Structure 1
Amino acid sequence: MTVLILGGTSEAAALDQHLAEQAPDIRAIISLAGHTVDPRPSNLPVRVGGFGGIDGLRQYLRDENIIAVIDATHPFAAIMPFNAEHACKAEGVPLLAIRRESWRPQAGDKWKSVPDIEAAVVALGRVPRRVFLTIGRLDLPDFADAPQHHYLVRAIEPIGDRLPVPHVTVIQQRGPFHAEDEEKLMRREGIDVLVSKNSGGDATVGKLIAARRLGLPVIMVERPPKPDVETVAHVDQVLPWLVTQGLFVTERGV
C-alpha cells in the first residue's frame, strides 16, 4: 500500500524528508511533471511524467494500490489538482492538498495584481523598461509579444529560445534568494519593474523585500483556481491526517 505525493515544490521535498525521518514504514512515491530536468534529490522513489488525464490517474491509483494522495504541486499547477480531485473521488482514495499561503502586499509595496501572464505582458506597457522576470521558463514565450523591453530572466534551467527578443539576459539559479542579494542584483541591472507569480513561501520572498526597499513596482500574477479539497499549510500536518484517515498508526497507537 502506497501514498502518492504529487510533487514539484519545496513542500514535496520537505514531506519526503519528513516521512523518511518520522515514518520510515510508510511506502511513498513522488510523482513529478517532468518540467525540471534536474530536480532535487529524493529519499523516495520518483516517477516522472503525466498520467494520461483523469482516467490514467485512476488506473495508476488502482495498479499501485494507492491508499492516499498528497497534492504538493506548485501553486500555479492548473490541471493536476483538478485531475487528482476527480480521480480520487472516483476511486474512493483520500486526498489532501498542501497549499502555502499567498504573499500579501505590505506597507510600501507597489503591486499591480493581474490574473494571468498575458495580463502581465500588457501591464508592462509600450515604453521600454528593464524587466526582471521571475516566473520560470514555461511562460516566457508570452513576453515575446513585448520585444521592446530589456529582460533579466532567472530560471533553474536554460531557457533555450523561449524568449526570442533582442535584449535578454539569463541567470540560471535555484533558490532560496536573500533580500540583500536581490537588492544588489536589481541595482546592478538597473531594474525598473519586477514580474512575479504569487507563489508564496520564504524561498523567493527576498525579491519582494528588495523591490519594496528600492521603491520598484511589482506586477504580481495571481494564482489560478484550485479545487475545494481538504487542505493543510504545512508538511508536519500530513502524518496526523493519515492517522485520522486510519491509514497510519503511530508507535503510541494513535
Structure 2
Amino acid sequence: MLIFGGTGDANRIAGDLLQEFGSDLRLQLSLAGRTSAPRLPDGIPVRIGGFGGAEGIISWLGSEKIDLVIDATHPYATQISSHVAMACHAVATPCIQFQRSVWKQTDQDRWIMVKSLADAANILPEHGERALIASGRKDLAHFEGLEKTWLLVRTVESPTEPFNLKYGEWLIARGPFTVAGEIELLQRHNIDVIVSKNSGGSATEAKILAARELNIPILMVERPGASPVAQAENIQEIIENVRNTLASA
C-alpha cells in the first residue's frame, strides 16, 4: 500500500496501520521532498521525490504492485491529489483520500471568506495594517508590493520561490503552536489581521483560537473540493478499508 504524505496525518495513518496489521501489510510512504527535514514515522520505507505527474504514478503503481493508495497529502495540495486520482482511475487501483475536518466558524470568530490567496492579498489592506501571513510558503508572490500592510510571514522553512519582503519580516517556525504562544506573538507584533487557509487539524489551530480571543479578523481561504475518489474523515475508516482489502487479496 502506498501513502502519499507530507503531513502529520499521513504519519499517524502509517503508524496506526503498522500497529494494526504488522507484517501482513507492506507499507510505503511517499513524500514530495519540499521540506528538507520532514518528520518521518519509524519502521516504514519512505520514498522522497516527485513521480513526474500521473504517468509516473501509474508506472510506480504497476512496478510496486500497489493494491491500495491512500492520499493523505495537505488539503490544499490539489495538484498531487489530482494526479493521484487520475493515475488510480487509469489502472483501477482503489484510492482513499483522507480529509481532515475543517475548522468551524463560531459567533466569536471574524472570518472573511475568500476563494484564493490572490483574493486575500487584494483585500488585505482593507482589513488591517499589520498582518500575520500563515498560509504556507507557496504563492507568497501575491503579497509582494503591499506597502500599506506590514507582513509577518511565518513558514516552516524559507520559501523556495523568490519573494521580496520589503515591508515586514520572516518567522521560521514549525507547529504545533499553543494558544498562549500565539496570543503573545500577535500582541508582540501588533497584528490586526491574519491570512490563513482552512487546513483543519490541531497543529496550527492555535492561531484561530488566539484570533478569536483577541477579536482579530481572519482572511480565510476556502478549502478546495475533494478528489473524485473514496473519502475518509477519520483513520478508523481507513483501517476498515485496509482490512477489507487484505481480506479480498
Q: TM-score when scaled to structure 1?
A: 0.91
1:28-39 to 2 correspondence within 5 Å? 28-39=27-38
Which residue of structure 2 lines up, in the alignment, with residue 104 of structure 1?
104
Q: Higher mean Cα deviation, 183-192 or 19-28?
A: 19-28
Whole-angstrom CA distance in 2 between matches of 1:128 and 1:198: 20
How has the CA–CA distance of structure 1 residues 248 and 39 changed in structure 2, closer, same or farther, with 3 Å as cutoff?
A: farther
Q: Higher mean Cα deviation, 41-50 or 111-120?
A: 41-50
Q: Higher mean Cα deviation, 55-64 or 11-20?
A: 11-20
Which residue of structure 2 lines up, in the alignment, with residue 27 of structure 1?
26
Whole-angstrom CA distance in 2 between matches of 1:192 and 1:115: 21
**Paired AA for residue 244 in structure 2:** T
Once the two structures are superposed, what CA deviation does each residue of 1:28-71 show, in whole Å capped at 9, x if it has no partner? 11111121111102321111222111111111100111111000
- Structure 2, unaligned stretches of length 5 or more? none
**Paired AA for residue 223 in structure 2:** R
Which residue of 4, 8, 24 maps to 1:10? Answer: 8
| Number of equivalent positions | 247
* 1:169 and 2:169 matched: yes
Which residue of structure 1 lines up, in the alignment, with residue 57 of structure 2?
57
Whole-angstrom CA distance in 2 between matches of 1:214 and 1:184: 11
Higher helix share: 2
Q: TM-score when scaled to structure 2?
A: 0.93
Which residue of structure 2 lines up, in the alignment, with residue 69 of structure 1?
69
The Cα shift of 1:27 comes to 1.1
Which residue of structure 2 lines up, in the alignment, with residue 219 of structure 1?
219
* Structural RMSD (CA): 1.8
Which residue of structure 2 lines up, in the alignment, with residue 207 of structure 1?
207
The Cα shift of 1:99 comes to 0.5
Which residue of structure 2 lines up, in the alignment, with residue 151 of structure 1?
151
Once the two structures are superposed, what CA deviation does each residue of 1:88-117 show, in whole Å capped at 9, x if it has no partner? 122121111110111121111110000011
Q: Percent identity?
A: 35
Q: Higher mean Cα deviation, 61-70 or 164-173?
A: 164-173
The Cα shift of 1:241 comes to 0.6
- Structure 1, unaligned stretches of length 5 or more? 250-254
Assess if the C-alpha contact under 8 Å between 1:13 and 1:42 holds in 2.
yes
Whole-angstrom CA distance in 1 between matches of 2:98 and 2:215: 33
Assess if the C-alpha contact under 8 Å between 1:129 and 1:150 holds in 2.
yes
**Paired AA for residue 31 in structure 1:** S
**Paired AA for residue 11 in structure 1:** D
Q: Higher mean Cα deviation, 205-214 or 156-165?
A: 156-165
